Amino acid sequence: MKFSFSLIKKLAPGKYTKSELVEKFNLHLFETVDLGGDALEIVVSPNRFSDAASHLGIAMETAAIFGTKLSDPNSGELKFNSKSPGVFRVNIQDKKLSRRYLAGYVSEVKIASSPIWLKEILETCGLRSINNVVDIMNYVMLKTGQPMHAFDADKVSGGIVVRKAKKGEKIDTIDNQTFSLDKEMLVIADAKKNLAIAGIKGGKNSEIDSNTKRILVESANFDSASIYDTSKKLGLRTDASVRFSHNLSPELAELGIKTALDLLQKFAGGKIHPYIDVYPKKQSKKLLRLDIDKMASLIGKDLKEKEVVNLLSQLGFSAKGGFASGGKKQGKNIEVPALRTDINDSEDLAEEVARLIGYNNLIAKPPAVALGFAAEEELILLKDRIRNFLAGAGFSEVYNYSLISKEDLALGPVKIFGSGDGVLLANPMSRQLAVLRDSLSPGLLKNLKDNLRFFEEVRIFEIGNVFSQSKTGTDEKTLLGIALASKNAVLELKGLLDILLEKLGLVDYFLPDLNYDNKLLKTGESLRIETGDHKVLGYMGSVHGVKGAILELDLGKLLKLVDEEKEYEPLSKFPSVMRDISILADNQIRVGEILAMIQRISLKLVEDVDLIDWYQDEKLGDNKKSLTFRIVFRAEDRTLTDQEVDREMAAINQILINKFDVELR
């Protein structure tokens, strides 16, 4: 909000310079920037519009901060030109939404251009000069914080009515727009027609023009939420609507009308009449108990009652009498100035005191707390372990957006992780970012493609939350996604998965064919990651579009399965025997089945089976592949003899030939 330094200085005279004011305001009041010239940008906080979104309010703060006095030359009593308030009446129909309405009748107004000093202040504060009457309305708002409006009294029939709009009611505003109103919106009207959208904008039909002779000045107070909602619904934001939305005190309205009438008398040649004041429910006085001990305890600094009362009095607070506290000590009550709608608790008083003293004058003190165990949630620790493992294994971490396009929904086999229904935004920013991601795969796939422009191989992972719509609400899951592009991507990924799960202590899992709908993975090259008791943890497989593979795992489910307990197993006393077997098999036969079969044939003696070599070649014949397995035999209780191992090998050979029709090489 823009302010005029010269007006502040006029209202709070003192020896300070503009740059001193800027510095002190930043440390004791609001963020303030020198805009050059006479202008200041002061960021008035949303809770302080009632008292401080005005030059008077800022001047009061200035006086408190610099230890000077407020001085308002125009605060004398009004001398009315008439004893009668004029012929107008005010009828508030909705007393809840219209908290106060003051109307002042001014006759014999001479519309002219404003004096230079007024024009300059308006310009500094970013407003355009129109004519003396309109400018005075705006100046009163800048000075007091109270939005004002002036109607051409000759265009108003009968009295003022404050009511809710009728269904289908329309209004043409002074800036030549037309708005359709609804029944929740408050309007200012006369007996025949509407005159203004209450607290937001005036109507065209009652506008001040160069022929205006008599005016009706409005200084009112409206329910802040109602103005906020109406302004939002209409998409119409004005200085007045912004201020009213911030819960101004109804007490401010009287200051507004007095200031306006005084200026109209002086600078628009007007004859002023006593104003009408309809104030259905007067704002009550607010008293807060001053508990010095509590205040000192909150701030962390010793305070004296006298010091505190002094500081507060500079901001218009006054100390009243005493109260009995604990039957012994006498404490004081603090009366809150009427405009301070932001002060409701003793904490609010503490803030006033602390900021005037200056937060930088507080001495840092270590907190005294009982020693407790500082813990990290288990999922956080699991994420850490996985990140460290993957970085060690050569994978780099990426972060992608949580929002994706509708087209990218259900790219991966998302039914593994939720309902499969996407979660849509009500107010998306763009088509690309319209839906919450249901899988990390759209981001990872894009990362693979992007990075392949710069690198021959890409190894990445991401840990992030994905979303789906369930019957009870939005389902949120934390996933690990790993993606890589390399020559043997999918097998590398499978090897990585094995060692990752082993490291996490998950041994009972298997990898059957995927069998979940998706557009991401190549059929026949994709697997489910499933526990021994058939919980599906995730998937992995080769992807379309890139020579690469992607894996996703549900970390929430994984968390329940990981087992960090390790137990030492005695080293075997007996040696192992290793035998290789090479076979020529039909392409259709899958290695996984052969491995499982070998293990099953010789359950007791086979310690490990591994595929150590495989290739396909024209020389081998159509649809054939050569496979070499290494089998490790070991007995727990004796050294195996060659004959024993030969017997086992013969049995294995025979069954492989019978079952899979392979050729030994």
List the interface residues with another protein, window 426-445 (CB under 8 A). Answer: 426-429, 433, 436, 443
Q: Which is nearer to another protein, 161 or 448 (by Cβ)? A: 448
Distance of closest approach, residue 68 Cβ to another protein, in angstroms: 20
Distance of closest approach, residue 460 Cβ to another protein, in angstroms: 7
* Interacting residue with another protein among 321, 327, 367, 570 (CB under 8 A): 367
List the interface residues with another protein, window 399-418 (CB under 8 A). Answer: 399-403
Q: Which of these, 147, 151, 123, 118, lies nearest to 135 by C-alpha position?
A: 118
What is the rounded CA–CA span in Å between residue 147 and residue 53? 11
List the interface residues with another protein, window 336-355 (CB under 8 A). Answer: 345, 347-348, 350-351, 354-355
Q: Which is nearer to another protein, 32 or 602 (by Cβ)? A: 32
* C-alpha distance from residue 522 to each of 174, 629, 657 (Å): 65, 27, 31
Distance of closest approach, residue 586 Cβ to another protein, in angstroms: 36
- β-bridge pairing 90-92 and 160-164: parallel
Q: Which of these, 124, 152, 155, 107, lies nearest to 264 by C-alpha position?
A: 107
Distance of closest approach, residue 407 Cβ to another protein, in angstroms: 18
* Interacting residue with another protein among 107, 405, 451, 599 (CB under 8 A): 451
What is the rounded CA–CA span in Å between residue 471 and residue 385? 33
Confirm if 328 and 378 have CB atoms less than 8 A apart: no
Q: Which is nearer to another protein, 119 or 301 (by Cβ)? A: 301
* Interacting residue with another protein among 154, 184, 450, 502 (CB under 8 A): 450
* Interacting residue with another protein among 17, 180, 297, 488 (CB under 8 A): 297
Q: Which stretch binds another protein (CB under 8 A): 152-160, 192-200, 270-278, 358-366?
A: 358-366
Token pair of 158 as six digits: 């009968």
Residue 411: how many other CB atoms lie within 10 Å:
21
Q: Which stretch binds another protein (CB under 8 A): 278-286, 333-341, 447-455, 636-644?
A: 447-455
* Interacting residue with another protein among 83, 365, 566, 619 (CB under 8 A): 365
Confirm if 550 and 412 have CB atoms less than 8 A apart: yes
What is the rounded CA–CA span in Å between residue 348 and residue 342? 8
Q: Which is nearer to another protein, 133 or 410 (by Cβ)? A: 410
* Interacting residue with another protein among 364, 566, 569, 618 (CB under 8 A): 364
Q: Which stretch binds another protein (CB under 8 A): 6-14, 292-300, 303-311, 519-527?
A: 292-300
Distance of closest approach, residue 346 Cβ to another protein, in angstroms: 9
Question: What burial letters (b/e) apply to 415-441, b meaning 16+ CB within 10 Å?
Answer: bbbbebbbbeeeeeeeeeebbbbbbbb
Confirm if 540 and 513 have CB atoms less than 8 A apart: no
Distance of closest approach, residue 345 Cβ to another protein, in angstroms: 5
Q: Which is nearer to another protein, 35 or 379 (by Cβ)? A: 379
Token pair of 280 as six digits: 């259905």
* Interacting residue with another protein among 423, 496, 537, 627 (CB under 8 A): 423
Size of the site for another protein (CB under 8 A): 96
Distance of closest approach, residue 229 Cβ to another protein, in angstroms: 5
What is the rounded CA–CA span in Å between residue 179 and residue 194? 12
What is the rounded CA–CA span in Å between residue 197 and residue 355? 39
Distance of closest approach, residue 333 Cβ to another protein, in angstroms: 18
Q: Which stretch binds another protein (CB under 8 A): 66-74, 98-106, 453-461, 609-617?
A: 453-461
DSSP helix/strand/coil, 19: helix
168 — alpha (psi -120 to 50), left (phi > 0) or beta?
left
Question: Does residue 395 interact with another protein by CB under 8 A?
Answer: yes
Q: Which is nearer to another protein, 29 or 186 (by Cβ)? A: 29
- β-bridge pairing 458-469 and 396-397: parallel
Q: Which is nearer to another protein, 242 or 605 (by Cβ)? A: 242
* C-alpha distance from residue 125 to each of 34, 40, 120, 512 (Å): 13, 8, 9, 71
Confirm if 528 and 515 have CB atoms less than 8 A apart: yes
* Interacting residue with another protein among 372, 573, 603, 642 (CB under 8 A): 372
Amino acid identity for residue 462 in this structure = E
Q: Which DSSP string do the residues of 308-350 spell out, in sequence order? A: HHHHHHTTT-EEEEEEEETTTEEEEEEEEPTT-TT--SHHHHH
Distance of closest approach, residue 293 Cβ to another protein, in angstroms: 11
List the interface residues with another protein, window 374-393 (CB under 8 A). Answer: 374-377, 379-380, 384, 387-388, 390-393
Residue 293: how many other CB atoms lie within 10 Å:
12
* Contact residues for 280 (Cβ-Cβ < 8 A; gap 6+): 92, 95, 99, 100
Distance of closest approach, residue 456 Cβ to another protein, in angstroms: 12
Binding characters for another protein, 15-54, by CB under 8 A (x = yes): -----------xxxxxx-------------xxxx------
Q: Which is nearer to another protein, 53 or 103 (by Cβ)? A: 53
List the interface residues with another protein, window 489-528 (CB under 8 A). Answer: none
Q: Which is nearer to another protein, 309 or 393 (by Cβ)? A: 393
List the interface residues with another protein, window 599-658 (CB under 8 A). Answer: none
Token pair of 199 as six digits: 């607290």
* Contact residues for 370 (Cβ-Cβ < 8 A; gap 6+): none
Distance of closest approach, residue 309 Cβ to another protein, in angstroms: 19
Binding characters for another protein, 463-492, by CB under 8 A (x = yes): -xx-x-xx-xxxxx----------------
Q: Which is nearer to another protein, 256 or 442 (by Cβ)? A: 442
Q: Which DSSP string do the residues of 109-146 spell out, in sequence order? A: ----PPPHHHHHHHHHTT-----HHHHHHHHHHHHHS-
List the interface residues with another protein, window 225-264 (CB under 8 A). Answer: 225-226, 228-229, 242, 245-247
Residue 655: how many other CB atoms lie within 10 Å:
15
What is the rounded CA–CA span in Å between residue 156 and residue 336? 39
List the interface residues with another protein, window 540-579 (CB under 8 A). Answer: none
- In 29-115, which residue ranges form alpha helices assigned H by DSSP? 49-52, 55-66
What is the rounded CA–CA span in Å between residue 275 and residue 257? 8
Q: Which is nearer to another protein, 487 or 619 (by Cβ)? A: 487
DSSP helix/strand/coil, 514: coil
Q: Which is nearer to another protein, 139 or 222 (by Cβ)? A: 222
List the interface residues with another protein, window 105-144 (CB under 8 A). Answer: none
* Interacting residue with another protein among 2, 119, 301, 625 (CB under 8 A): 301
Q: Which is nearer to another protein, 36 or 570 (by Cβ)? A: 36
Q: Which stretch binds another protein (CB under 8 A): 125-133, 304-312, 362-370, 508-516?
A: 362-370
List the interface residues with another protein, window 189-228 (CB under 8 A). Answer: 224-226, 228
Confirm if 348 and 299 have CB atoms less than 8 A apart: no
